[in-house]
Amino acid sequence: MKAVSRVEGPVSTLLRDDIDTDVIIPKQFLKLVQRTGFGPYAFYDWREDPAWDLPSRPILVTGANFGCGSSREHAVWALADYGFAAIVAPSFGDIFRTNCMKNGLLPVRVPQEIRDQIAEAGEAAVDLRAGTVAWAGSSYPLDYPDEARRRLVHGLDDVAVTLESEDAIAAYEGRRDTTMPRTKAGRA
Amino acid sequence: MGQTLVEKIWAAHEVEPGLLYVDLHLLHDLGGPLAFEGLKAAGRPVRRPDLTLATADHNVPTDGVTRSAQIDDELSRVQVGLLEAGCAEFGIPLHSMGAPQQGIVHVIGPELGLTQPGMTIVCGDSHTSTHGAFGALAFGIGVSEVEHVLATQCVVQERPRTMRIRYVGDLPFGTTAKDLALHTIGRIGTSGAAGHVVEYAGPAIEALTMEGRMTLCNMTIEAGGRAGLIAPDAMTLDWIDRHGGTVDDARGRLATDGDAEFDREVEIDAREVTPQVTWGTTPEMVAGVLDRVPEPRTEAERRALDYMGLEPGTRLVDVAIDRVFIGSCTNGRLSDLRHAAELIAGRAVAPNVRAMVVPGSMRVRRAAEAEGLDAIFTEAGFEWRGAGCSMCLGMNADTLDPGERCASTSNRNFEGRQGRGGRTHLVSPEMAAAAAVTGHFVDVRDWRRS
Ligand code: SF4
């Protein structure tokens, strides 16, 4: 994953709550076996609306429970490909938020009134090293666990990091409850 | 202080702080191929194919074709083909098209006796919460995490907050686990359980069948929950026993301690549950079947009513439907089909309605046929299909046309979920069956009394 430590610039606003991943990237695009090039399909059905206006800018400011629903990571790839590098919202779907972090698209959870201030300000800066989101002379702390922040800032490959714990994993397997089922042994 | 069930499972699986060992990893055709590609690019093997199981479900046609090479849609054909090739290459057991145990990933795990108490279960699919019905900590992950689990058999997790939803009283006559789930989401909202693992408890839960518990845990994600689970009991162990599994005694007795504390506790009166029908585009936009379409209170609700083509004040029983879908990992199990069949036996699907039953797995399909349920459905005018996700998300040919209105036993009524412009009303299998016959929503409690 590429390292990311700071995102700044103007915001695009889409102030609706409960925007689900089906809306962000409709199912027909999940058949594409690739991780890139989904930007043109983001909000595919909503784009039909003549009033639709969502400029490609570094930061998306949006509503509560953003990215709820399906675990499709394509939603993150589509938003990143569309041009967003950070998303500010009062809350996120849990799996979507994790998917964002795995792809260096920064989810920024702030109370609704702060969200409104950032939308109003029209631009903001998310700084992982400082651990803040800043706008119009104000700032608010990011709620990232230290480990997640470290991986983003250094662009670490999650699998590689975990594989460094090979000894601990092997030790766990040595003491693991072996009464748990296996998928082989004539079952599959 | 005591521990909650989730805390016990968590503690038993922590390899290192924040790194959880995965006991069962389920794969399907959407996420599998992408994850395999990532592994291959990095030259990494699958660590534990013997703890991994794959099936083809999201993309598969339900028209009876039995080989991926026969799929008409080119992209689907490629995707299922890549799943098959990847499973062969990495040695992962697979139930693909035509296999006797093929089915929706969350239906076949329990069916094979693989889903058991005290386990950690992950899958690149949000409804992995279904498996929590057996007292497992089961949650959905993204494709990057799928790749991570394949390579390491571990998942990096923030410790979830815990929440208990305790139901007071019993479910009333004529209501189901689906109604309980929808009623609960209506109460706590689509982010009511965000960031939490929910433990369901109370007499109404103890009385639910395993299938009912799966339906309820399945819908936890629609309340924003990370996972949902129910402490195992004699019924849990009996199910596993009947499905070829054996459970270690200690795991079979796992429970939250009496003095354990949850981060949040919610109490809901199960006696207030009525047959539910969603009227909007999120599962929290739900009402009792005898209610009316509400006046919108927010911009979101106004948009939802506009999308759904509904006028405030309309009685839900006056809402006419075009399609009926009985199936999905929420309500595609044998008892769901039995309950729907009971209601339609000797009746016929309304002339202007197209209705289909899609069993959750081939095993469910065979069991239903052995009981003659297929004949009841087809004689009534239902289509009797092969197993898969089908119109729950409409990635195969089973989709709604724009403006079509569907009574669906699935779990999401999002805009476009079942087809672009399609209008989904989430209901129980009984409610869907009755709606198929009358062409509009009806209170199934009346039918069951008679
Ligand atoms: S049936 Fe629907 S919700 Fe369940 S796994 Fe398939 S697509 Fe997802």
Rounded-to-integer distance, Cα A1 and Cα A5, Å: 12
Segment B152-167, tens digit of pLDDT: 999 999 899 999 999 9
Distance from residue B11's CA to the centre of ligand 1 (Å): 30
Q: How confident is the model at residue B1 (pLDDT cuts 50, 70, 90)?
A: confident
Buried/exposed code over B7-35 (b: 16+ C-beta within 10 A; e: otherwise): bbbbebbbbeeebbbbbbbbbbbbbbbbb
Residues 6+ apart with CB under 8 A from A20: A67, A68, A69, A70, A93, B282, B412, B414
What residue in A sits closest to B191 (Cα-Cα)? A65
User: Residue B154 annotated as binding?
Assistant: no
pLDDT at A34: 87
pLDDT for res B317? 98
Distance CA(A138)–CA(A148), nearest Å, equals 24
pLDDT value at position B448?
Answer: 77
CB distance B383 to B358 below 8 Å = no
Using CB atoms, which residue from A17, A33, A182 is nearest to B51? A182
Q: In this structure, are residues B428 and B331 in contact, taking their beta carbons and an 8 Å threshold? A: yes
Domain boundaries, chain B: 5-156, 161-232+249-272, 276-449
Where are any strands of DSSP class E within B202-331? 227-229, 264-269, 276-278, 286-288, 323-327
Q: Which is higher by pLDDT, B282 or A34?
A: B282
**Domain B276-449 = CATH 3.30.499.10:** yes
Closest of B182, B129, B120, B188 to residue B154, by C-alpha: B120
CA-atom Rg of chain A in angstroms:
19
CB A106 within 8 A of CB A85: yes
Positive or negative: CA dihedral B254, B105, B40, A97: negative
Q: What is the pLDDT of residue A32?
A: 87
CATH number of the structural domain B161-232+249-272? 3.40.1060.10
- Is B396 a residue whose pLDDT tops 80? yes
Pairing of strands A123-127, A6-14: antiparallel
Give me the pLDDT at residue B450, please: 64
Taking CB atoms and an 8 Å cutoff, what residues of chain B touch A70?
Answer: 125-126, 393, 412
- CA atoms of B109 and B218, how far apart (whole Å): 13
CATH superfamily of B5-156: Aconitase, domain 3 (3.30.499.10)
Residue B421's pLDDT is 95
Whether B154 sits inside 8 A of A103 (CB atoms) is no
Least confident of A62-66, A181-185, B247-251: A181-185
Are the CB atoms for B361 and B107 separated by under 8 Å?
Answer: yes
Q: Which residue in chain B is spatially nearest to A162 when comparing CA positions?
A: B152
Range list of β-strands (E), chain A:
6-14, 59-62, 86-89, 106-109, 123-127, 132-135, 138-141
Domains B161-232+249-272 and B276-449 share a fold: no
Q: Which of A30, A162, A176 sits opposite B148 (nearest CB)?
A: A162
- Average pLDDT along chain A: 94
Question: Of how many residues is chain A composed?
Answer: 188
B389 marked ligand binding residue = yes
This model of the complex carries an ipTM of 0.94
Measured from the CA of B330, which atom of ligand 1 is nearest?
4
CA distance B200 to chain A (A): 20
Q: How many CA atoms lie within 13 A of A155 on its CB side?
A: 6
Question: Helix crossing, A94-102 with B143-152: angle to 10°?
Answer: 70
Pick from A70, A144, A150 the residue to mutate for testing the B interface (most B CBs within 10 Å). Answer: A70
* Average per-residue pLDDT for chain B: 96
Using one digit for the tens of pLDDT, what is the confidence trace for B343-362? 999 999 999 999 999 999 99
Distance, CA of A98 to CA of A63 (rounded, Å): 18
pLDDT tens string A156-167:
999 999 999 999
- Is the pLDDT score of B254 beyond 90? yes
What domains can you pick out in chain A, each with its CATH number? 6-175 (3.20.19.10)
CB B29 within 8 A of CB B164: no
Distance (Å, rounded) from C-alpha B188 to C-alpha B220? 11
For a mutational test of ligand 1's pocket, the pick from B102, B220, B411, B418, i.e. the residue with the most ligand atoms closer than 8 A to its C-beta, is: B411
Q: Which of A81, A82, A79, A130 is nearest to A107 (CA)?
A: A79
Mean pLDDT of B371-375: 98
Give the whole-angstrom CA distance, residue B124 versus residue B43: 21
Distance of alpha carbon B114 from alpha carbon B26, whole angstroms:
10
* Residues of chain B with C-beta less than 8 angstroms from the C-beta of A28: 395
Distance from CA of B241 to the nearest CA of A (A): 13
A185: pLDDT strictly greater than 60: no
B269, β-bridge pairs: B168
CB count within 10 Å of CB B250 equals: 11
Q: Is A132 exposed, middle or buried (0-12, 13-18, 19+ CB in 10 A)?
A: middle
Out of A30, A169, A188, the one facing B153 most closely (by C-beta) is: A169
Q: Which of A2, A14, A18, A112 to mutate to test the interface with B (most CBs of B within 10 A)?
A: A18
Q: How far is the CA of B128 from the centre of ligand 1 (A)?
A: 9
Q: For position B273, what pLDDT does the model report? A: 98
Beta bridge partners of A28: none
Q: pLDDT digit string (tens) for B304-335?
A: 999 999 999 999 999 999 999 999 999 999 99
Among A27-36, B28-37, B138-147, B254-263, which stretch is predicted with the lowest mean pLDDT? A27-36
How do beta strands A6-14 and A59-62 pair? Answer: parallel
pLDDT tens digits for range B199-249:
999 999 999 999 999 999 999 999 999 999 999 999 999 999 999 999 999
Q: Does the annotation place B392 within a ligand binding site?
A: yes
Output the pTM of the full model. Answer: 0.96
HSE (side-chain half, CA atoms, 13 Å) at B406: 39
Tokens in use for B391?
A: 């119109």
Pocket of ligand 1 (CB under 6 A): B 57-58, 104, 106, 125, 127, 328-329, 389, 392-393, 410-411
CB contact under 8 A, A68 and B224: yes
